[in-house]
């Protein structure tokens, strides 16, 4: 039998790699055992959901009404919960079987927000009451913070919890339209309880936002509790499997014991007491989610890249640099395609490894907090804010570029890319809007510089701020020295140092009121934060490479070093990088930090790295071990049989199937097309 051309091209591209993707898979997921367990869990869930057989058009492309998508979300959420319970694993705690953040599931908040909110903010008694119910699924919880009128500015929320001393209850109330809870996943129809953020009012005193456990629906029949109006907010750009909802409360009564009281307490006689660190401690749930988002978002970008890379090695278009097999060119050979794909693949690995470093910091913080040591909180808060902002922005921009890299077919929903882009787009906004988060990191960096200038110690991640620096120093490296990780780190460190000092000087020495100076120089501060994260991300990648196990094959080690160098250098020479000019500027007046000829050297090194990594492109994406069902893409299946896969799914679309039964005529013909044809004149 003659092999299909695209299948042959895919086979060839896959055979060209110098390392075994499975070795990299094990490194990415932690070990061979975990990688195998993940694969088995995905397979079981895909079989139960009916998505495993990818010859069949997935339901998400054939049943697409608001109600259909929500119903699919409920089924997916339940199947994942059942599988985790039966096989005792946590593979779907943070992601869905399509690698969306689990907020895409109606039950997503259960384990990542509702239960952690209890754990972090509840007293021992409250935890022993609520956690067993939540963990065993006897109640299903959401986390309701955002309101119609306020998201970023939590202190501005309007829902009230007024203490009624006579009955020992709180009265939860939405006093205005803008105070309606709006957005929480699962709030529409699928959760029974919520940790609701409301202002604690005792007598005439407003103690600000606190968390309260409020029963939203009857556990018996799902009916709304009296006094609560709830529903779904409708179709969104992504996450349509989840019922992001609204809720307004009309004097709903809950017992006093439903206020989460680990960090602040209200006694029976109305006496209020709070831990001086309460405001900061109550952030810790948010840190958990923000800290996990970079890893999840990097992996979802890797999905988009897997689709775009597989498509690019089998798609032929035009008579460019001629491929040996054919007269037409595989589009990956066009230099822009090659550069965009490989530099994004490199960035994805860099961001993923940085998310690992962030996990380590977060786990260290939690350990210390168990001993009542909260000293790491400011630095982890700043790190999670910065990394979340960085990765979620880069991921959605990268996925959108993947769509463009697939030309017209990338625009089809069945390419899988619109779902990925829609999901990633939300990440820039929820769990802290990115531009708000950049400022939180910026504030921390300025404070660290204040500390240094006051002769106090500063934390290890910003130790570069303490290094002596001549503002007129330029980079002295040349030629292949730019492939050295130490040289690359020096460039990134120098830039971060320069930008943080610049923002610090502008804001602290402006002579204006602090808030005015802050606003005026906000862009400087945001770019300083970004530069700091660029440095952190490169450093994390370099650290991972330095710590690769001795058992790792030389070929994979060499590929990862090249990927790391490609990330470092392509970020500098890519005109699309954010604030790329600041790699060159100095604060001094004598000469730029990098010269034009050094930039040319880097461009030529990048071209060399691209050539070396081209044969590895498919293996670098295969290594993520995405199943075809999880990609849900007619363009990105493992076999590369792209045209067959597209046509097979398109023919199964209900719009075509329905017409098929009627000789190819659609319902609208008689009403709208026929009258035009029958009209004498237009």
Ligand X SMILES: Cc1cc2nc3c(=O)[nH]c(=O)nc-3n(C[C@H](O)[C@H](O)[C@H](O)COP(=O)(O)OP(=O)(O)OC[C@H]3O[C@@H](n4cnc5c(N)ncnc54)[C@H](O)[C@@H]3O)c2cc1C
Which positions lie near ligand X, rule CB under 6 A?
103, 143-146, 150-152, 183-185, 236, 239, 244, 426, 429-430, 433, 435-436
Q: How far apart are CA 46 and CA 57, in angstroms?
A: 14
Binding residues for FAD: 146
- Per the annotation, binding residues are 146
Q: 33: which residues sit within 8 A by CB, 6+ positions away?
A: none
Choose between 35 and 503: whose C-beta lies nearer to ligand X. 503
Residue 271 pairs in a beta bridge with none
Could you say which of 241, 431, 554, 667 is catalytic?
431
Give 428's Cβ-side CA count (13 Å radius): 12
Residue recorded with tokens 């050979």: 333
Q: Which long-range contacts (CB under 8 A, 24 or more apart) does 590-594 make?
A: 590/472, 591/472, 591/474, 592/474, 593/473, 593/474, 593/475, 593/491, 593/494, 593/495, 593/498, 594/474, 594/475, 594/491
Cβ closer to ligand X: 142 or 627?
Answer: 142
Please name the residue that has the structure tokens 């390419």. Answer: 415
Element (H, E) at 207: strand 205-215
Give me the least distance between CB of 568 and ligand X, in Å please. 29
**Closer of 117 and 560 to ligand X (Cβ):** 117
Instruction: Choose between 263 and 290: whose C-beta lies nearer to ligand X.
Output: 290
> Is 431 considered catalytic here?
yes
Helical ranges in 88-148 per DSSP H: 109, 115-121, 124-135
Residue closest to ligand X when measured from CB atoms: 151
* Residue 174 near residue 250, CB atoms below 8 Å: yes
The least distance separating ligand X from the CB of residue 239, rounded to whole angstroms, comes to: 5
- The helix/strand/coil state of 273 is strand
d(CA 278, CA 276): 6
Residue 97 or 184 with smaller CB distance to ligand X: 184
User: Would you give the distance in Å from CA 504 to the centre of its chain?
Assistant: 29
**At its nearest, how many Å lie between ligand X and the CB of residue 102?**
11
CB of residue 83 to ligand X, shortest distance in Å: 23
| Helix pair angle (32-49, 21-29), 10° resolution | 90
The phi and psi torsions of 550 (rounded to 5 degrees) equal -60, -25
Shortest Å distance, C-beta 186 to ligand X: 8
CB 312 within 8 A of CB 337: yes
Q: Name which of 184 and 640 has its Cβ closer to ligand X.
A: 184
- The token pair at 358 is 């962030």
CB of 66 to ligand X, least distance (A): 15
Q: Which is nearer to ligand X, 113 or 618 (by Cβ)?
A: 113
Q: Least distance (Å) from ligand X to the CB of residue 289?
A: 10
Q: Which DSSP string corresponds to 532-567?
A: HHHHHHHHHHHHHHHT--TTS-HHHHHHHHHHHHHH
Please give the DSSP secondary-structure letter assigned to residue 186. Answer: T
The residue among 142, 134, 135, 68 whose CA lies nearest residue 103 is: 142
Positions marked catalytic: 431
């Amino acid at each position: 039998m003659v092999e299909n051309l695209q299948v042959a091209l895919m086979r060839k591209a896959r055979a060209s790699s110098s390392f075994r993707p499975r070795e990299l898979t094990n490194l990415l997921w932690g070990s061979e055992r975990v990688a195998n367990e993940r694969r088995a869990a995905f397979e079981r869930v895909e079989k139960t959901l009916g998505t495993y057989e990818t010859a069949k058009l997935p339901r998400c492309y054939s049943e697409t009404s608001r109600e259909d998508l929500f119903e699919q979300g409920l089924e997916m959420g339940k199947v994942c919960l059942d599988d985790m319970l039966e096989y005792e694993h946590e593979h779907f705690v943070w992601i869905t079987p399509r690698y969306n953040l689990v907020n895409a599931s109606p039950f997503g908040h259960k384990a990542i927000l509702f239960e952690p909110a209890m754990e972090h903010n509840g007293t021992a008694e409250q935890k022993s009451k609520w956690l067993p119910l939540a963990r065993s699924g006897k109640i299903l919880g959401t986390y309701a913070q955002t309101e119609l009128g306020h998201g970023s500015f939590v202190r501005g929320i309007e829902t009230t919890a007024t203490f009624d001393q006579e009955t020992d209850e709180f009265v939860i109330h939405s006093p205005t339209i803008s105070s309606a809870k709006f957005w929480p996943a699962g709030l529409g129809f699928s959760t029974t309880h919520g940790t609701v953020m409301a202002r604690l009012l005792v007598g005439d005193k407003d103690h600000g936002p606190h968390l309260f456990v409020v029963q939203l629906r009857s556990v018996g029949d799902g009916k709304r509790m009296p006094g609560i109006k709830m529903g779904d907010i409708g179709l969104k750009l992504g996450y349509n499997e989840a019922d992001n909802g609204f809720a307004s409360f009309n004097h709903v009564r809950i017992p006093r014991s439903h206020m989460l009281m680990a960090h602040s307490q209200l006694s029976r006689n109305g006496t209020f007491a709070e831990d001086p660190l309460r405001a900061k401690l109550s952030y810790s749930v948010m840190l958990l989610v923000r800290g996990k988002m970079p890893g999840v978002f990097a992996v979802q970008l890797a999905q988009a890249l897997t689709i775009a890379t597989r498509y690019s090695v089998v798609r032929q278009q035009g008579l460019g640099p001629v491929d040996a097999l054919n007269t037409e060119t595989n589009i990956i050979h066009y230099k822009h395609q090659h550069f965009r794909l490989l530099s994004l693949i490199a960035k994805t690995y860099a961001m993923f490894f940085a998310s690992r470093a962030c996990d380590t910091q977060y786990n260290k913080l939690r350990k210390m907090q168990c001993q009542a040591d909260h000293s790491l909180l400011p630095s982890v808060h700043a790190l999670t804010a910065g990394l979340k902002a960085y990765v979620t922005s880069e991921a959605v921009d990268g996925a959108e570029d993947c769509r463009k890299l697939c030309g017209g077919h990338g625009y089809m929903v069945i390419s899988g890319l619109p779902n990925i882009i829609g999901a990633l787009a939300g990440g820039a906004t929820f769990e802290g809007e990115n531009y708000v988060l950049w400022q939180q990191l910026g504030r921390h960096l300025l404070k660290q510089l204040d500390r240094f200038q006051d002769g106090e110690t500063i934390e290890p991640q910003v130790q570069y701020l303490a290094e002596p620096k001549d503002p007129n120093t330029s980079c002295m490296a040349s030629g292949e020295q730019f492939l050295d990780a130490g040289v690359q780190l020096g460039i990134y460190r120098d830039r971060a140092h320069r930008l943080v000092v610049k923002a610090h000087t502008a804001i602290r020495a402006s002579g204006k009121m602090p808030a005015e100076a802050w606003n005026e120089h906000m862009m400087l501060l945001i770019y300083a934060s970004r530069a700091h994260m660029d440095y952190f991300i490169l450093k994390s990648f370099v650290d991972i490479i330095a710590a690769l196990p001795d058992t790792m094959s030389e070929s994979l080690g060499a590929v990862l070093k090249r990927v790391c160098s490609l990330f470092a250098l392509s970020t500098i020479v890519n005109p699309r990088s954010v604030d790329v000019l600041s790699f060159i500027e100095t604060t001094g007046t004598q000469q730029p930090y990098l010269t034009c000829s050094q930039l040319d050297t880097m461009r030529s090194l990048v071209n060399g790295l691209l050539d070396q990594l081209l044969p590895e492109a498919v293996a670098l994406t295969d290594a993520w071990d995405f199943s075809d069902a999880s990609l849900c893409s007619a363009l990105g299946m493992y076999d590369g049989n792209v045209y067959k896969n597209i046509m097979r799914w398109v023919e199964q679309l209900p719009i075509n199937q329905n017409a098929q039964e009627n000789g190819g005529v659609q319902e609208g013909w008689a009403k709208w097309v026929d009258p035009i044809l029958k009209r004498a004149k237009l």
